Structure 1
Amino acid sequence: MVDATTSSSIPTTSTKAYYHVTDKDVSEYSPSIYLYEINIIVGSCCFVIAVINFTVLCSTKKFRSQYMMLITLSVTEMCALMGIILEATTRRELFIIATATRLADVMTSRTCLLPWILFQVTGDFWSPAIVLLMGLERMCAVVYPTIFRTVFNTETPKLIALASGIAGLFVLIPTLISAIWPTQNVRWSCGRRATFGVSYGMIDYAYNVILFSLAFVFNLIALIRALKVRQSGRNMSKLKCYTAISFLSTLLIAIPNLLSIINVFWTLPDMIITPAPLLACANGAIQFGVYLTFNAEYRRRFLQLVTFNQIEKFMPKMSVTHFTTVPINQMSDVTTSISIQQQPTSTKAYYHVTDKDVSEYSPSIYLYQINIVVGSTCFVIAFLNFAVLCSSKKFRSQYIMSMTLSVTQMFSLMGIILEATTRRELFINATATRLADIMTSRTCLLPWIQFQVIGDFWCPTIVLLMGIERMCAVVYPTIFRTVFNTDTPKLIAVASGVPGLFVLIPTMISAIWPMQNVRWSCGRKAAYGYTYGMIDYAYNVILFSLAFIFNFIALVRALKVRQSGRSMSKLKCYTAISFLSTLLIAIPNLLSIINVFWTLPDMIITPAPLLACANGAIQFGVYLTFNAEYRRRFLQLVTFNQIEKFMPQASSIAHFTTVPRPLQILQNPNLMAHTHRISFKESESNGSYPQNKL
């Protein structure tokens, strides 16, 4: 038996339409190639800043409670920035190929549903909705305090969910329409208007203009009113931040979108329209600068994180209550424009941290510092791997499982980083105050736990699916052609849905029927129960081990028969990934299970998070080692194609992007101006099925 790429003796015929790229097209988009290089650099820098801002906001319980809207806003900005980066990498590659071959695929609105478009429209509708909600919240806090206490003080998570849901409908409904009833022969370079229609593009622009402008007006009203009455320093700081964010969003997003609307009716110079993506990148990172400027708590917290609390030696001492909640019985310092009200005395139970507790967790404080540094480094590597895999149409088609795996690994890494920052802060405060909140399984549903359990169940499922796919390709080619050649996205969706149930159902149970008095430092077992922790460990051990067995079987079988170089490269990568995942994740989890029954030394259990970090970044190294296409593509991206001057030209552009192999079409005098029909045969002799099968 041989691989599916060489198993069929019946030649197949492929017919596909292509658009003929004209000299006018080339002259129009040529300047964009260099602009996209700038967008990649600026967008990546701003994305890193947005991730830092998100990390700081999630690093303490107090920040997660007070700045819930800002945490959501930072996520929306990361979506928008990811869209800009992926647009730049995708379109730059497309234009380079189109210039070389003068051919491009004929696109429909369905085939234009690319990742970068979905990221961009999600950010386009989600971000202004959250900024508007922030403006309403501040206006009600100052002008309508009764509404603020009734609605925003207790229902903020529901309001955020509602605003996010409304924005989601603006993305979901047009996406379904474009997928079910596609528009034919749209702009070959795609875009929001090509994917969703011209009217949708106008709605997108108008939505941003109106909502950002309203948000700025609401914040401005609140700020003017607040200047006339006494406000607490914290409330005034928050109001200044919200006003600055809404003003800058209006300046950097709303006004360029307004100019885009005007450009539809009266053509404006390109120099006015072109900077819009760079302004959007700046807006994505601006929140970090605003908070460093106006919020002393945020600034101090950021300096604590980057210096591992060493900054405290050089800055004025601030009480621990500035960063954590401890019992306070006093009048609230919140003064509204209507009245000053005496807040009721709060009676809250606290866990008394003992000397034994301190001695147990003290070494962890320093280990968490290491986890933050290593985890952040591995997260950058995992993100870089994701960017390379998304950078060309061919990679997005052939390595869709690897792309999904890189996303699962980023979830795990984000969980490790947030766990380290959260627990380190918790332990430092507990040492200083000897008090900690009494926790339930509901209050233990923290962001870092959610990120970790998603990665714990999603990652091994995808690795197992990769192993099954390779084994079927080599051992059962008929099943491979029937299932994996056509239904890979559906299989990934199913494989993602199954572990999703392992997260969603226990989360709902813990939220609805919480366990009382769980471990005060929280964790997966505290949030979901002891049995869930054992299931988590066993799930990882079994699925990673099975994935390695399937890949190993496929590799042994493949060595006995002739395989195409690309298939063999893919098989080596999958085998290496499953082996390393078994080594770095499955074995430590197995040791954790053994530790329940027979206590093992701490030096065996402690390195588990660092091994998980290494596993999160290992895919990048595996592909650089075993996949020549990936290695070359990475070098192209980091050198902006300058590497081609120093590398052998053996690999044509078709090595990275699908172009029609019978290039004699370029000399065919019967071709029409724009669209061509090309028929060609792929026989057994060339060792491959039609493009994108393996």
Structure 2
Amino acid sequence: MPSFRAPVNSSFVEGMDEFVAYHKVNMILGAATTVINLLLLFVLCASSSLRKKSEGSIFQILIVLCLADGMNCFSICLMGLNRVLLYTEVIDTLTIPIRTSWECALEPWLLFRGYGDLWPPTVQLAMGVDRCLAVFNPISYNKRASKRKGIFFFATIICVTLELSVGYLISWSTRFVKVKYWCGRKAAFGNSYASFVYGMNIVCYLLAFVLTMICYFKSKYYMDTCSAKQHLARIRYQLMISLLSIVLISTPNGISLFAQYIAEVADAVAKTSTYLTCVNSAINIVVYLLLHKEFRSEFVRIIFRKTECTTVAVTITLNDKCVLYCSLQTEQVLRDDELIGSDETARNTPEDKK
């Protein structure tokens, strides 16, 4: 905490209670969406079926996206907590802290906020590139799948760390400059770096959507049916995630960028952008439940401890005359080869009895 404070009069804190209420909502919403991402992470890691498929990189990528979104939600929770404590102290003491840009940059919540701002768009852009490699060069992509374990996580986190390092270098270069006491992104790192963050949240999501759309058309119209079906199943939910990010993140960031250089926007619009960020970072689990059949099945099995069942009709022919129909209750996740094995066993049983 800063050691120097400046006195303010009572008119300065008029309406500050509204800021406290607004950031309490941010704190609660950030905490709730963090829990949702922890739930998603638990399902992805607890499922042996999904975990095995992560060796093919797709679910490993989804885990990294979940971590990035969780970081974003947690940073919003920390930001809300910091602002609630800050404004409450200002109201109670009628003093404000005197801070420099470097003092602001050293606040822990701002470091988390930096990763929360930059990691999700970086991950989604990398997802688009990864899908293009899988669609346009599948042989090389599959051949090197085992060598890519952990690369996606480390590549994206290193990239974001380098981007954040630039902001901290800027802050260090202006470390004696006094800034606004609430220590936002602009106060800590300057307007230019804040614009860079806005731009990342616009450009990365747009590029991710474009790359995924290219993969969609390539898979649908220019690949054989078997390969296309495999790719399209993955592309659909990835495309939906990118589209939602454009609507919920890129659009508000575009408005903020417009407000920074051209004209002010309504305060309600600026405040709503934080809520939309939380929604976007928590909505992936809904997308997977709607568009990913295996995830839906595993979610029900792990969370509700239930197994989805289907009825499979098996025809058993005896001496080409007698036909017996029976219904077998099988788990949804039963493999096709197990079904075939059961069928063959049923067919051979009468002969064995003879």
Report the TM range for the smaller structure's normalisation. 0.7 to 0.9
2:237 alignment partner in structure 1: 241
Match of 1:250 among 246, 252, 267: 246
Q: Look up the SS of the partner of 1:67 in the other structure.
A: helix
Alignment of 1:307-456 (within 5 A): 307-308=304-305, 310-312=306-308, 317-321=331-335
> In 1, distance between residues paired with 2:15 and 2:138?
55
> Structure 1 residues 178 and 232 mapped into 2: Cα distance closer, same or farther (>3 Å)?
same
Report if the CA contact (8 A) 1:137-1:152 is conserved: no
Report if the CA contact (8 A) 1:73-1:131 is conserved: yes
Report if the CA contact (8 A) 1:82-1:116 is conserved: no
2:80 alignment partner in structure 1: 88
> In 2, distance between residues paired with 1:38 and 1:167?
28
Report if the CA contact (8 A) 1:43-1:84 is conserved: yes
Report if the CA contact (8 A) 1:69-1:134 is conserved: yes
Paired AA for residue 210 in structure 1: V
> Structure 1 residues 25 and 78 mapped into 2: Cα distance closer, same or farther (>3 Å)?
farther
Report if the CA contact (8 A) 2:75-2:109 is conserved: yes
- 1:210 paired with 2:200, answer no
What's the offset of the Cα at 1:275? 0.4
> Structure 1 residues 71 and 183 mapped into 2: Cα distance closer, same or farther (>3 Å)?
farther
Match of 1:169 among 153, 162, 169: 162
Q: How high is the sequence identity, in percent, across the aligned residues?
A: 26
Match of 1:271 among 268, 273, 282: 268
- 1:291 paired with 2:288, answer yes
Deviations 1:79-117 (A, max 9, x none): 111110011111012112212221021112232122221
Deviations 1:615-672 (A, max 9, x none): xxxxxxxxxxxxxxxxxxxxxxxxxxxxxxxxxxxxxxxxxxxxxxxxxxxxxxxxxx
Match of 2:44 among 19, 37, 57: 57
2:349 alignment partner in structure 1: none
Report if the CA contact (8 A) 1:126-1:168 is conserved: no
Paired AA for residue 95 in structure 2: L
Larger fraction in strand = 2
What's the offset of the Cα at 1:279? 0.6
1:644 alignment partner in structure 2: none
* Unmatched segments (≥5 aa) in structure 2: 311-328, 339-354
Paired AA for residue 98 in structure 2: V
> In 2, distance between residues paired with 1:24 and 1:169?
43
> In 1, distance between residues paired with 2:15 and 2:164?
29
Report if the CA contact (8 A) 2:30-2:75 is conserved: no
Paired AA for residue 240 in structure 2: A
> In 2, distance between residues paired with 1:121 and 1:75?
14
Match of 2:127 among 129, 134, 139: 134
> In 2, distance between residues paired with 1:252 and 1:99?
33
> Structure 1 residues 161 and 321 mapped into 2: Cα distance closer, same or farther (>3 Å)?
farther
- 1:280 paired with 2:277, answer yes
> Structure 1 residues 152 and 218 mapped into 2: Cα distance closer, same or farther (>3 Å)?
farther
1:73 alignment partner in structure 2: 65
2:13 alignment partner in structure 1: 26
Report if the CA contact (8 A) 1:83-1:115 is conserved: no
What's the offset of the Cα at 1:135? 0.8
Paired AA for residue 70 in structure 1: L
> Structure 1 residues 80 and 25 mapped into 2: Cα distance closer, same or farther (>3 Å)?
farther
1:221 alignment partner in structure 2: 214
What's the offset of the Cα at 1:28? 6.1
> In 2, distance between residues paired with 1:234 and 1:316?
24
Report if the CA contact (8 A) 2:119-2:157 is conserved: yes
Report if the CA contact (8 A) 1:131-1:215 is conserved: yes
Deviations 1:488-523 (A, max 9, x none): xxxxxxxxxxxxxxxxxxxxxxxxxxxxxxxxxxxx
RMSD over equivalenced CA pairs, Å: 2.7
What's the offset of the Cα at 1:319? 4.5
What's the offset of the Cα at 1:316? 5.3
> In 2, distance between residues paired with 1:320 and 1:312?
10
Report if the CA contact (8 A) 2:220-2:228 is conserved: no
TM-score, length of structure 2 as denominator length:
0.79
What's the offset of the Cα at 1:47? 1.0
Q: Look up the SS of the partner of 1:267 in the other structure.
A: coil
What's the offset of the Cα at 1:27? 4.1
Report if the CA contact (8 A) 2:37-2:66 is conserved: yes
Report if the CA contact (8 A) 1:39-1:88 is conserved: yes
> Structure 1 residues 219 and 35 mapped into 2: Cα distance closer, same or farther (>3 Å)?
same
> Structure 1 residues 16 and 300 mapped into 2: Cα distance closer, same or farther (>3 Å)?
closer
1:48 alignment partner in structure 2: 35
Q: Look up the SS of the partner of 2:72 in the other structure.
A: helix
Alignment of 1:145-184 (within 5 A): 145=138, 148-149=141-142, 154-155=147-148, 157-175=150-168, 178=171, 182-184=175-177
Q: Look up the SS of the partner of 1:311 in the other structure.
A: coil
Figure out how many residues of one structure are paired with residues of the other and give that number. Answer: 309
Paired AA for residue 17 in structure 1: F
1:122 alignment partner in structure 2: 115
What's the offset of the Cα at 1:36? 1.4
Report if the CA contact (8 A) 1:19-1:188 is conserved: no
What's the offset of the Cα at 1:52? 0.7
> Structure 1 residues 145 and 63 mapped into 2: Cα distance closer, same or farther (>3 Å)?
closer
Paired AA for residue 311 in structure 1: T
Report if the CA contact (8 A) 2:16-2:91 is conserved: no
What's the offset of the Cα at 1:29? 4.2
> In 2, distance between residues paired with 1:80 and 1:153?
29
Deviations 1:273-327 (A, max 9, x none): 210111111111111111111111111111111133x3246785235459xxx99
- 1:39 paired with 2:26, answer yes
